[in-house]
Structure 1
């Protein structure tokens, strides 16, 4: 399938990794991204187990390790800021500190992935796919701004609310499974002077937290709460901020300052903790990778690793199957399915309410043997 034109929707971890491996294997990738550039902000994310082999094969492991968050620990405080407990063994965002995992800020990782793919990839920022039409030999694609174009394959790497999945597989209500809570993340000044440290305050079903980022030069705020499923527009940021301001109005500690900073944050993110589950990740010449196809939810801690491994495997199978994209998609699903299922299971609490143990996380993050595809450097 060399010289095949592949359209990727989403300049995400999955989409950027996909673009890198596609050009390595002799494909011609194009990435369309709704945002005007790479999306900034986002939470601390983890690269674990087999996914570390993917970034190593990309030549990025040393660079990624140099940008690690270097968290020293975390503490929980009461409404007055008095410390209730602390840990230097684990953090809420990254789990155990003393292990081989790499925790890095999301936008630091996407910048590295973009730099690794940008010179062999066409990027269409500030645009979005509006329709997809199959014929025997290609997918006809219409965009909001770009002229209509034809591609051999289209891959949705556009996240939890994937537009490609909606257009090619059906409404997201058929595939999204709500896990009972919501999460907001945004950047702010490190006004608490945190030194590679995380601080949290819990009030009932709500948790507010702040942790330092980028060598303590800035911080991220996190608002997490349990709730029945809410009805909101996932693109209406003002509506989401109003929802949070009402929900956290009576929460103590630094919450009033965090809510004020939220109003001005340039990278505000809010969404449900949900999983994406489909029987198949392909439909004709259209496929899905990462959160668009099998989001495990942030609660699993494995979304980034699934995206990295999934992109690597998908391109390897496409390159191995010559011009038979159906066989490639089938093999991609066969290789990935058990790994995806085990990592999604991490997000589900046991009947007693306990979460997955560190040993279970380690097992799930290594629950796939990375194939050695011979086509990436041909």
Structure 2
């Protein structure tokens, strides 16, 4: 049985752990956070990605915790409604579609529960060094003892440690899109009931929607800038507050909530482009290899479909007595056209969503079954 180290305990890494176990591998997941990460925005599972969820036997659980939005409003600087829709929302698209929107933390929790007992989970640690030879890939950790694995998968996000160690500096592959976001939680002081509200003025704006049976809010601030941004800490909160300070409506109360939040996250919207997703015994999955950015609405879909295809190809190679290289090649050959279409969603309509036709085409543009 081959041993696989997966760096990153998010959607991509946790889904892969289960799917690899199903294909006869022994996966270990290392995650820097002390436990499953809480907070974050609502994510969408669309098209073929829903088929992955169904094949994992998780459709009922996922749908049980989906968001239940009735619609959305767009308001001006004084809070006056200038647009209303009960057909679609900016975060999840058409409300009458079969797509599922849920909180990222809920999806990760479901996947982690599903993989419990199938994979070893190591929290509070990260990879410090990779060294490969004919016997395997030797991994030094920041805290734990060194270990050797047959393969290493980088499923550790936009700023992947595995990608930096195995492929080179981040700057060679990261392509900023000129937009930044900050996401945090707050009490539902707006009294929203399954209803989103969006406000924008000039180069900055935000969306607010209720979660947890309308007890909490998730807030997404966004602004255009070419400057780098701190991703966490007091300096990041201060920078975000400065960028949003000129907005009116409920901005002062939202900024107060920003400074109280415990699940704050900020980053530049960017994509990752590499000529190859594998190097020796290391391979990239999800945002680490082909981040489309949240502007595409398809990051979760790419993570789930990528995990399915990578596990499928490694399983086929194992059954045929092949090495890992042919599996990595087939994974990339099958996955790359799907990635290209979904990354294009983020740039099709700068400052706005991609067309419904483009989303529909992109989310279904792959088969889960090998030819």
C-alpha contact 1:208 1:255 (8 A) present in aligned 2: no
Task: Describe how 1:128-139 pairs up with structure 2 within 5 A.
Answer: 128-139=126-137
TM-superposed CA distance for 1:118, in Å, is 1.4
Q: In 1, distance between residues paired with 2:15 and 2:70?
A: 29
Number of matched pairs: 368
SS at match of 1:71: coil
Question: Is 1:277 aligned to 2:261, yes or no?
Answer: no
For residues 134 and 180 of structure 1, what CA distance do their matches in structure 2 show? 37
Does the residue aligned with 1:347 lie in a helix, a strand or coil? coil
The equivalent residue for 2:106 is 108
Q: Are 2:28 and 2:121, in contact at CA under 8 Å, matched by a contact in 1?
A: yes
2:125 alignment counterpart = 127
Q: Encode CA deviations 1:28-68: one digit per residue, 9 max, x unaligned.
A: 11000010001101111000000011000000011111111
Aligned-partner Cα distance in 2 for 1:60–1:350: 33
2:228, 2:268 within 8 Å by CA — same for their partners in 1?
no
The match for 2:77 is 79
Change (3 A) 1:350 1:77: closer
Post-superposition offset of 1:242 = 1.0
Q: Which runs of 5+ in 1 are unaligned?
A: 374-378
Matched, 1:338 2:337: yes
> In the aligned structure 1, how far is the partner of 2:97 from the partner of 2:152?
37
The 3-state SS of whatever aligns with 2:116 is helix
| TM, length-normalised to structure 1 | 0.95
Distance 2:94 2:325 in 1: 40
How does 1:39-188 map onto structure 2 within 5 Å? 39-188=37-186
In 2, the alpha carbon distance for the partners of 1:10 and 1:260 equals 32
**1:232 touches 1:239 (CA, 8 Å); kept in 2?**
no
Question: 2:195 is matched with which residue?
Answer: 197
Aligned to 2:236: 240
- What is the rounded CA distance, in whole Å, between the counterparts of 1:208 and 1:306 in structure 2? 25
Distance of 1:341 and 1:245 partners within structure 2: 34
Question: Alpha carbons of 1:372 and 1:279: their partners in 2 closer, same or farther (altered >3 Å)?
Answer: closer
Distance in 1, matches of 2:185 and 2:349, equals: 33
TM-score by length of 2: 0.97
Give the aligned CA root-mean-square deviation in angstroms: 1.4
Partner-residue secondary structure (3-state), 1:306: helix
Which SS does the other structure have where 2:246 is aligned? coil
Q: Can you list the C-alpha shifts for 1:45-101, whole angstroms capped at 9, x where unaligned? A: 000000011000000011111111011111011222222211111111111111010
